[in-house]
């Protein structure tokens, strides 16, 4: 019989606010110079008083609402007392028994419909302040401390132990990150430490849960998945040998691709929590919560379902447009341009559903492959991006109508990307229109034939790729302006 793994996550997120949690210091995670964004409040000088950052509260509640949490009417801050060199006050203002959000859930699933999704319960989401950062200069026997980070609003989300594998945990964390980005509450960049995932994992056979092991300092989603899978294997081995799993905190060794013991659990920490005497209890008014609720945009899962329903897109494409939010929005703008265009010509030529699907497919292919290639990581919402959705729709329409070949399309798109000009203009100016005059193509065909007697011989001996070579030659001569099918036909006729 196999052991069942029970996994819970704790995720800390630095919120994107202008100022810190309890003072007006700048919240700038990119500040390289140490100890510039500090003041007597976040340094815990005697006589100073904290002031609650309302925007941080809004962002926590927004996250809670997006994760189906209950928002209690009353909430308060508490002091969590402990000593560490990166904690200037010797205590952290956090929330103990009255967090802003509790009892929510997030559904994770592979499919674009929520029917097969698994519900992961969320215990609570609370707000606290971040600590400073210790720096250990190489080869020196001292440590330095940078307090720029001290007092930055930090949101902590805790799940129930509803996860069962590394893959599930990774999926949950990735979806959580995506939701935070949709909500605009944080950039949630793991490499920058804006999103920190901690894992609690235990193995058991019966109803009774096994000994809990904590894994910390995981700096990518891949690592989260790998560390959990490694722990499941390691703990299974320990238990199979009849030994006991030690309750401890473990880290991840990247070189060894293994977890390692960091410290065994001494006694449970006594943080001597008590209500923060310098801050009032918070009464959350209904209107305030309604206002925040109204600001929540369409969330990733809803978007997946809608994109599938409205545009008949493949699961892979849906995932790309959901993950790259602004690329998805651009795609939808292009599609709405098509709708206008289709309406215009519908009366004359009747554009059927299949035709519309063809247009959609062309547009997605060019956006995902060619456009993303040109962007090279930049965003379509960026200032330097010049192609309007209208021009992009026209561009795709020209390909759809056979006015330009795929080869010419590449040239046109590159030019659009550089200058922002509209595609018809580029085609005209550069003389890239499709060659429709068969006489002209025939002339080139004859020329190519006379120049390649050896290839003609090969072709007559039955070598199929000889013909392909000749088509290529003619296409090159016309600079890609001839239709390959026409060239093919004319060549065969002449041979
Ligand atoms: Zn400050």
Query: 1-54, pLDDT tens digit by residue?
Result: 588 999 999 999 999 999 999 999 999 988 999 999 999 999 999 999 999 999
pLDDT value for 465: 81
The alpha carbon of 156 and the centre of ligand 1 are apart by a number of angstroms equal to 21
Mean predicted confidence (pLDDT) in 215-230? 93
Q: How far is the CA of 22 from the centre of ligand 1 (A)?
A: 7
Separation of 470 CA from ligand 1 center, angstroms?
Answer: 73
Digit-coded pLDDT (tens) for 90-103:
999 999 999 999 99
Mean pLDDT of the chain: 88
Q: Which residues pair with 218 in a beta bridge?
A: 197
Mean pLDDT calculated for residue range 170-195:
95
Distance 150 CA to ligand 1 centre (A): 8
Query: Who contacts 353 (Cβ-Cβ below 8 Å, separation ≥6)?
Result: none
User: Within a 10 A sphere around the Cβ of 23, how many other Cβ atoms?
Assistant: 21
Q: How far is the CA of 41 from the centre of ligand 1 (A)?
A: 5
How many A from CA of 19 to the centre of ligand 1?
A: 8
Distance 205 CA to ligand 1 centre (A): 50
pLDDT at residue 182, as a whole number? 96
CA of 50 relative to ligand 1 center, distance in Å: 9
Dist. CA 45 → ligand 1 center (Å): 10
How far does residue 196's CA lie from ligand 1's centre (Å)? Answer: 23
Burial of 44 per CB tally in 10 Å (0-12, 13-18, 19+): middle
The answer to whether 185 touches 16, Cβ cutoff 8 Å, is yes
Q: How confident is the model at residue 267 (pLDDT cuts 50, 70, 90)?
A: low
Q: What confidence score (pLDDT) does residue 158 get?
A: 97
Rounded distance from Cα 83 to ligand 1 centre (Å): 20
Distance from C-alpha of 476 to C-alpha of 470, rounded to nearest angstrom? 10
pTM confidence score: 0.85
Mean pLDDT of 421-438: 77
Ligand 1 center–CA 174 separation, angstroms: 32
Q: How far is the CA of 48 from the centre of ligand 1 (A)?
A: 10
Mean pLDDT of 166-195: 95
Q: How far is the CA of 63 from the centre of ligand 1 (A)?
A: 25
Task: Specify the higher pLDDT residue, 206 or 327.
Answer: 327
411 vs 158, residue with greater confidence: 158
pLDDT of res. 217? 83
- How far apart are alpha carbons 167 and 232 in whole angstroms? 12
Per-residue confidence (pLDDT) for residue 426, from 0 to 100: 84
pLDDT at position 346? 58
Residue 79 is predicted with a pLDDT of: 95
pLDDT above 60 (res 114):
no
- Mean pLDDT for 139-162 is 95
Per-residue model confidence (pLDDT) at position 468: 83
Distances (CA, A) of 434 to 428, 444, 446: 11, 15, 20
The mean pLDDT of 429-444, rounded to a whole number, is 74
CA 44 to centroid of ligand 1, rounded, Å: 9
> What's the 314 CA to ligand 1 centre distance in angstroms?
49
CA of 34 to the centre of ligand 1 (A): 14
Mean pLDDT value across residues 169-188: 96
Q: What is the distance in A from the centroid of ligand 1 to the CA of 325? A: 34
Residue 304 CA, ligand 1 centroid: distance in Å: 41
| Per-residue pLDDT at 349 | 59
Task: Tell me the CA–centroid distance for residue 15 and ligand 1, in Å.
Answer: 16
Q: Separation of 20 CA from ligand 1 center, angstroms? A: 7
Any idea which residue has 């809803």 for tokens? 302
Q: How far is the CA of 46 from the centre of ligand 1 (A)?
A: 13
CB 82 within 8 A of CB 269: yes
Residue 358 has pLDDT above 90, yes or no: no
Do the Cβ atoms of 474 and 422 come closer than 8 Å? no
pLDDT of 17 reads: 97
Query: For position 431, what pLDDT does the model report?
Result: 72
Tell me: the pLDDT tens digits for 377-429?
A: 888 888 889 888 988 988 998 888 878 888 888 888 888 998 888 888 888 77
Q: How far is the CA of 31 from the centre of ligand 1 (A)?
A: 14
- Please give, one letter per residue, the 3-state secondary structure of the chain: CCCEEEEEEEEEEECCCCECCCCCCECCCCCCCCCCCCCCCCCCCCCCCCCCCHHHHHHHHHHHHHCCCECCCEECCEEEECCCCCCCCCEEEECCCCCCEEEEEEEECCCCCHHHCEEEEEEEEEEEECCCEEECCCCCCCCEEECCCCCCEEEEEEECCCECCHHHHHHHHHHHHHHHHHHCCCCCCCCCCCEEEEEEEEEECCCCCCCCEEEEEECCHHHHHHHHHHHHHHHHHHHHCCCCCCCEEEEEECCCCEEEEEEECCCCCCCCCEECCCCCCEECCHHHHHHHHHCCCCCHHHHHHHHHHHHCCCHHHHHHHHHCHHHHHHHHHHHHHHHHHHHHHHHHHCCCHHHHHHHHHHHHHHHHHHHHHHHCCCCCCCCCCCCCHHHHHHHHHHHHCCCCCHHHHHHHHHHHHHHCCCHHHHHHHCCCCCCCCHHHHHHHHHHHHHHCHHHHHHHHCCCHHHHHHHHHHHHHHCCCCCCHHHHHHHHHHHC
CA of 17 to the centre of ligand 1 (A): 13
Residue 26 C-alpha to ligand 1 middle, in angstroms? 8
- Cα(216) to ligand 1 centroid in Å equals 28
What was the pLDDT predicted at 110?
Answer: 56
């Amino acid at each position: 019989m196999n052991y069942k793994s029970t996994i819970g996550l704790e995720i800390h997120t630095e919120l994107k606010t202008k100022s810190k949690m309890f003072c007006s210091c700048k919240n700038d995670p990119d500040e390289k110079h140490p100890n510039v964004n500090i003041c007597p409040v976040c340094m815990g000088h005697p006589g100073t008083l904290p002031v609650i950052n309302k925007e941080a509260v809004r962002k926590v509640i927004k996250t809670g609402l997006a994760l189906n949490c209950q928002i209690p009417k009353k909430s308060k801050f508490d002091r969590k007392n402990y000593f560490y060199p990166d904690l200037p006050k010797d205590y952290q203002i956090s929330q103990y028994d009255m967090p802003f959000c509790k009892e929510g859930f997030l559904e994770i699933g592979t499919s674009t419909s929520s029917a097969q999704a698994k519900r992961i319960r969320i215990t609570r989401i609370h707000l606290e302040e971040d600590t400073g950062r210790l720096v250990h200069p190489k080869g020196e026997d001292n440590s330095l401390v940078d307090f720029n980070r001290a007092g930055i609003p930090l949101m902590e989300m805790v799940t129930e132990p509803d996860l069962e594998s590394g893959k599930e945990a990774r999926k949950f964390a990735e979806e959580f990150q995506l939701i935070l980005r949709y909500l605009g509450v944080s950039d949630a960049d793991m490499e920058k430490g804006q999103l920190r995932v901690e894992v609690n994992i235990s193995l058991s056979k019966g109803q009774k849960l096994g000994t809990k092991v904590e894994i910390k300092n995981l700096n990518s989603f891949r690592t989260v998945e790998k560390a959990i899978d490694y722990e499941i294997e390691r703990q299974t081995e320990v238990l199979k040998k009849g030994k006991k799993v030690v309750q401890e905190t473990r880290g991840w060794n990247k070189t060894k691709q293994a977890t390692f013991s960091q410290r065994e659990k001494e006694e449970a920490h006594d943080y001597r929590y008590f209500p923060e005497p310098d801050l009032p209890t918070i009464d959350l008014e209904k209107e305030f919560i309604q206002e925040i609720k109204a600001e929540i945009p369409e969330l990733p899962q809803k978007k997946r379902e809608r994109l599938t329903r409205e545009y008949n897109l493949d699961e892979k494409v849906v995932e790309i447009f959901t993950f790259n939010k602004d690329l998805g929005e651009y795609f939808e703008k292009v599609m709405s341009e098509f709708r206008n265009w289709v309406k215009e010509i519908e009366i004359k030529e009747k554009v059927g559903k299949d035709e519309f699907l063809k247009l959609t497919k062309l547009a997605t292919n060019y956006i995902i492959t060619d456009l993303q290639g040109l962007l090279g990581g930049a965003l379509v919402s960026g200032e330097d991006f010049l192609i309007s959705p209208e021009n992009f729709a026209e561009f795709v329409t020209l390909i759809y109508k056979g006015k330009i070949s795929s080869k010419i399309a590449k040239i046109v798109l590159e030019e659009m990307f550089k200058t922002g000009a509209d595609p018809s203009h580029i085609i005209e100016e550069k003389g890239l229109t499709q060659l429709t005059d068969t006489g002209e193509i025939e002339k080139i065909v004859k020329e190519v034939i006379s120049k390649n007697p050896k290839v003609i011989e090969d072709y007559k001996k039955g070598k199929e790729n000889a013909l392909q070579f000749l088509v290529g030659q003619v296409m090159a001569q016309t600079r890609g302006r001839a239709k390959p099918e026409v060239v093919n036909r004319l060549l065969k006729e002449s041979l």
